[in-house]
Structure 1
Amino acid sequence: MNLQMNWITLRVRDLESSLAFYHGILGLTVERRFESRGRRIAMLGSPGQPKLELIETGSEAALRPGSGISIGFETESLEGTMERLNGCGVPVSRGPIAPRPDLRFFYVLDPDGFEVQLAHHG
């Protein structure tokens, strides 16, 4: 069996707030937006890469922040990314952490409180 990652789903309270974060601040491309069974959905990511699926649930996110789930992205410049996020009003929640000489990362929280890891290998 040869499996490939297709997408990761986050159930979010407010799709527009999440899009403002993931698209507006982090710069992920909105591949498409649609509605299914009365729920607004957005798929984000680069062509040929796994997607981030955001499903609006309304008043409560189905997954709880602190559940051990985080989403990770690679960045070319850890310091530059930290400065850009800070300038957008997104504070670092943990880090930077350097578990190995070739890996450094930090975490921020999305609008629903999910951890987003920004990592730099090099």
Structure 2
Amino acid sequence: MHFVWATVTVADMEESLEFYQKVVGLPLVRRVKSNEFTELAFLGTSETQIELVHRSNAEPQPMGKGISLGFAVEDLEVMIQTVKDLGLELYEGPIAPNPHVRFFYVLDPNGLKIQFVERR
């Protein structure tokens, strides 16, 4: 397993893209709409990236609540079972936003969302 991205939920995608590209210096790798309300943008130069998420139908998030850490796994079902065997509950998911990606979240001991993602 390896760390793949940190997710930041943003209020304004264009403003956030400008900040991360011009101020931080991260190039845009890809930008996609996962459904009619949700747009994703991935920025960075290595395998570890920043994922920006904008949901047009969502209320603004309190500071820090829209952040999660994403880890890639080979087999999502095995990871789900591992999490359950450790006595943890799934916080959200599994979710399949498209045929190539499935993921779920658990909460760390501090309440931070940890995402485990399988890319097909």
Q: If the TM-score is normalised by the length of the shorter chain, which range does it land in?
A: 0.3 to 0.5
TM-score, normalised via structure 2 length: 0.47
